[in-house]
Amino acid sequence: MSLVDSYVNPYTSLTVAKFGGTSVADFTAMSRSAAIILHAPQTRLVLISACSGVTNILVELANGVTDTQQRHALLTRLTDIHQSVLSQLKQPQQADEAITLLLKNVAELAKKAAIEKSVALTDQLVSHGELLSTHLFAQILRELGIKAIRFDIRDVMRTDGQFGKAIPQPSIIRQLSEQHLLPQLKKHVVVSQGFIGSDEQGNTTTLGRGGSDYSAALMAEAIGASTLEIWTDVPGMYTTDPRIATKAKPIKEISFSEASEMANFGAKILHPSTLVPAIRQQIPVFIGSSKAPEQGGTWIRETVSDAPLFRALALRCNQTMVTLTSLNMFHAYGFLAEVFRILAEHKISVDLITTSEVSVSLTLDQTDTSGGAPTLPAQALAELSELCRVEVEQDLCLVALIGNQMSSTKGSAKTVFSTLEYYNLRMICYGASPHNLCFLVKAQDAKSAIKDLHCAIFE
């Protein structure tokens, strides 16, 4: 029996809790989050993000700020954010030295990046957000009387060496966690970093923006946790973004399949990969607001008591649509294979696909850490252009209706298309998944399309 099994069974069930940037934004937010941990003794592993806004500043520095004054202004903002928390601690000296050292590292790395930036340097630099916040948060927990220690997740979060979007290696993470982390969890509440990891050579890597959720799920898997909690600034998932449709309703319970579709199709509440480890290990996931834990939140699990035809609407903007047209496609074979060979060679991930007899349209996956519309690399465009006519369109948003048995329920498409009869819908994808119907609309129409649909379906 491995240490994981013997630990989880039979005395206690372990919870991994993740707190996002807004939940650790400042002293007040950190204290609220700490109170949640205080009242949940089963929470032994806590992963946190950088304080809100910090990663953005670090990314800016990593992109190379050559103007010394501007660089110093950014560094001062970083110092202020962390100093403000430090100054409110009862025993700031417990974290002071570490914070000062890390901020000094940031200044040095930012200077380096201004001379020559690199993806490895970027990861090294941006990892400091989480390295800093964990020192402060662990101390806040200790000041509440919790036996907490700070742990460097890079000792266990093994990834490959793709800086900026490193791929985690679950079986090694599990082995390393059994060795280094589980013994600590028996004695302490462990506070550690989301988002960051390290490759085989010990270089710091990151899992991509918003990756802390994914880190938490990977760690829940690695230590055999029975629950994963994601604490953020909204009380769970809603039928759509309440900022777009004010009558959006909270979702109390949702299945893994539906929630995966939502995370993939733009509900920003979860990093899209988060549910992969949770599904692998059947770990229920709770999403709640650290500002209002009493409001409850959303439970995501394998089986749910209610599986409505329509569950929610998600919106993802900044879509890039590529249309490839070739007369050779007519009754021919191998054209799509060739297209996808080129895309694969350039490591371009495709999202939606629709086809006609002579053309295929696809959207590019959002992998750009800046959140902008993905672009087709010049070399890939050149190779595709040799094969067929290539058109690239942007300023498009993806609207996804998530639900259950939609492809086998008569009339479910009718509601959508009759409500949106005056919109120009592109790339309609329906039927491949029972959980999803989606299409593109012009960016300027996206919000009103969501509002109209929400009104017709959910209000």
Identity of the residue, 133 or 323, whose beta carbon is nearer to ligand ASP in the bound complex? 133
Please state the closest distance from residue 272 (CB atom) to Mg ion, in A.
Answer: 11
Pick from 43, 212, 239, 298 the residue near ligand ASP by CB under 6 A: 212
- Site map for ligand ASP, 330-369, x if CB under 6 A? ----------------------------------------
Give the burial class of 82: count Cβ atoms within 10 A of its Cβ; 0-12 exposed, 13-18 middle, 19 or more buried: buried
Phi, psi of 355 (to 5 degrees): -135, 155
User: Which stretch in 19-27, 68-76, 103-111, 274-282 sits in contact with Mg ion by CB under 5 A?
Assistant: 19-27
- Site map for Mg ion, 176-215, x if CB under 5 A? ----------------------------------x-----
The answer on whether 151 is annotated among ligand-binding residues is no
- Site map for ligand ASP, 122-141, x if CB under 6 A? -------x------------
The answer on whether 238 is annotated among ligand-binding residues is yes
Q: Return the residues of window 251-270 that contact ligand ASP according to CB under 6 A.
A: none
Pick from 209, 301, 311, 426 the residue near ligand ASP by CB under 6 A: 209
- Collect contacts of 383-387 with beta carbons under 8 A, ≥24 apart: 383/342, 384/322, 384/324, 384/339, 384/342, 387/324, 387/326, 387/335, 387/338, 387/339, 387/342
Question: Which residues, in sequence order, are CB contacts of 405 under 8 Å at separation 6+?
Answer: 307, 309, 434
The answer on whether 18 is annotated among ligand-binding residues is yes
Identity of the residue, 195 or 265, whose beta carbon is nearer to ligand ASP in the bound complex? 195
Q: Answer positive or negative: Cα dihedral of 363, 368, 372, 375.
A: negative
User: Which stretch in 206-214, 288-296, 316-324, 381-389 sits in contact with ligand ASP by CB under 6 A?
Assistant: 206-214
User: Which residues, in sequence order, are bridge partners of residue 250?
Assistant: 238
Give the burial class of 364: count Cβ atoms within 10 A of its Cβ; 0-12 exposed, 13-18 middle, 19 or more buried: buried
Nearest Cα neighbor of 166 from 125, 129, 200 is: 200
Give the burial class of 400: count Cβ atoms within 10 A of its Cβ; 0-12 exposed, 13-18 middle, 19 or more buried: buried
198 interface partner picked from Mg ion, ligand ASP, none, CB below 5 to 8 A per type: none
Nearest Cα neighbor of 290 from 23, 16, 68 is: 23
Contact 137, 52 (CB under 8 A): no
Q: Return the residues of window 38-67 that contact ligand ASP according to CB under 6 A.
A: 49-50, 55
Pick from 211, 224, 288, 293 the residue near ligand ASP by CB under 6 A: 211
436 interface partner picked from Mg ion, ligand ASP, none, CB below 5 to 8 A per type: none
CA 46 to CA 192: how far, in whole Å?
Answer: 6
Residue 337 in tokens? 């294979």
Q: Answer positive or negative: Cα dihedral of 405, 406, 408, 411.
A: positive
Identity of the residue, 193 or 436, whose beta carbon is nearer to ligand ASP in the bound complex? 193
Identity of the residue, 164 or 403, whose beta carbon is nearer to ligand ASP in the bound complex? 164
CA 312 to CA 28: how far, in whole Å?
Answer: 33
288 interface partner picked from ligand ASP, Mg ion, none, CB below 5 to 8 A per type: none
CA 324 to CA 26: how far, in whole Å?
Answer: 49
CA 275 to CA 255: how far, in whole Å?
Answer: 11
Identity of the residue, 21 or 64, whose beta carbon is nearer to Mg ion in the bound complex? 21
Side chain identity at 122, as an amino acid letter? T
Q: Return the residues of window 181-200 that contact ligand ASP according to CB under 6 A.
A: 194-195
Residue 25 in tokens? 């934004």
- Site map for Mg ion, 141-180, x if CB under 5 A? ----------------------------------------
Interaction of residue 20 with ligand ASP, rule CB under 6 A: yes
The answer on whether 243 is annotated among ligand-binding residues is yes
Identity of the residue, 106 or 406, whose beta carbon is nearer to ligand ASP in the bound complex? 106
Please state the closest distance from residue 291 (CB atom) to ligand ASP, in A.
Answer: 17
The answer on whether 288 is annotated among ligand-binding residues is no
The answer on whether 368 is annotated among ligand-binding residues is no
Pick from 4, 14, 15, 20 the residue near Mg ion by CB under 5 A: 20
What Cα–Cα distance (Å) separates residue 288 from each residue in 55, 61, 232, 237?
22, 32, 6, 9
**Site size toward ligand ASP, by CB under 6 A:** 12
Identity of the residue, 212 or 298, whose beta carbon is nearer to ligand ASP in the bound complex? 212
Query: Which DSSP category does 224 fall into?
Result: T
Question: Which residues, in sequence order, are CB contacts of 381 under 8 Å at separation 6+?
Answer: 390, 392
Identify the helix (H) or strand (E) that includes residue 164: none
Binding residue ranges for substrate: 55, 130
Residues interacting with Mg ion, by CB under 5 A?
A: 20, 210
Binding residue ranges for ATP: 18-21, 232-233, 238, 243
Binding residue ranges: 18-21, 55, 130, 232-233, 238, 243
Residues interacting with ligand ASP, by CB under 6 A?
A: 20-21, 49-50, 55, 129, 194-195, 209-212
